[in-house]
Amino acid sequence: MRHRGVLIAAAAVALSLSPILLTRAAGAPQGSKPQASRQIPDLSGVWYVHGDVRSQFDFGEGAALLPWAQEQVKANRQKLNPPLLCYPAGVPRVWTEPYPFEIISLPGRVLIHHEYQHLVREIHTDGREHPKDVIPTYMGNSVGKWDGDTLVVDTIGFNGQTWLDNTRRPLSDALHVVERIRRVNHDMLQVDITIDDPRAFVKPWSVQRTYDLKPDWEISEQVCEDNNVYLFPEDKTK
């Protein structure tokens, strides 16, 4: 059994029924659009990448780079990979990190708790829209809605400080990501990601990742600063 240390309850719930349904509670926050109560799929559980661990996406035709991005790739070759300096991986790169994550379903919200850097992503599913004055961040601002058994997540509001993956492809603050997250069966999660960055790529393009349920795993503490030779290089004068 792999040892992990927090948020056990949601993973346990995910194993008790198949399929599992949660009832959306009434009382959405002020300013959001009220939605009728209905039963929604429960994506809860601890998940880990299916098959070979790949730290980059599979690229299709749409992933061809525009001139700005081509120049940024050249510049990025002279830089350290941002996660090595403990910067958040951002979206969609966080899906490529070789660490488990836990999905926690709540009334009006879905939380994704990544073991990697203990990043927590909050996806509002109460009908609200993106703020008009969204503050740019690494992980962006996410709102979601249910399309049958699929959680459709729309994310904007990025700060342009992240890379797509280990290929050093840049992402700009114009990035728009749409993820379709669904439970293919009780033990497998499928995430279809559409990446639209009009500064970086010639057109929107999509990629798919799959993850296995890990019923015996728990999310543990992962601290990027621990033993980080890039932030705290060894003093060879001692």
The pLDDT tens digits for 118-149 are 999 999 999 999 999 999 999 999 999 999 99
Task: Categorize the per-residue pLDDT at 24 as very low, low, confident or very high, splitting at 50, 70 and 90.
Answer: very low
pLDDT band of residue 201 (cuts 50, 70, 90) is very high
Mean pLDDT of 175-198: 98
Nearest Cα neighbor of 126 from 56, 17, 34 is 34
Average pLDDT along the chain: 86
Tell me the pLDDT tens digit for each residue of 28-39.
Answer: 455 545 444 567
Calpha distance 100→91 (Å, rounded): 16
- State residue 231's pLDDT score: 85
User: Would you say residue 16 has pLDDT above 80?
Assistant: no
| Model pLDDT, residue 52 | 85
Is residue 3 predicted with pLDDT exceeding 50? no
8-213: CATH topology is: Lipocalin (2.40.128)
The pLDDT, as a whole number, for residue 38 is: 62
pLDDT in tens, 41-52: 899 999 999 988
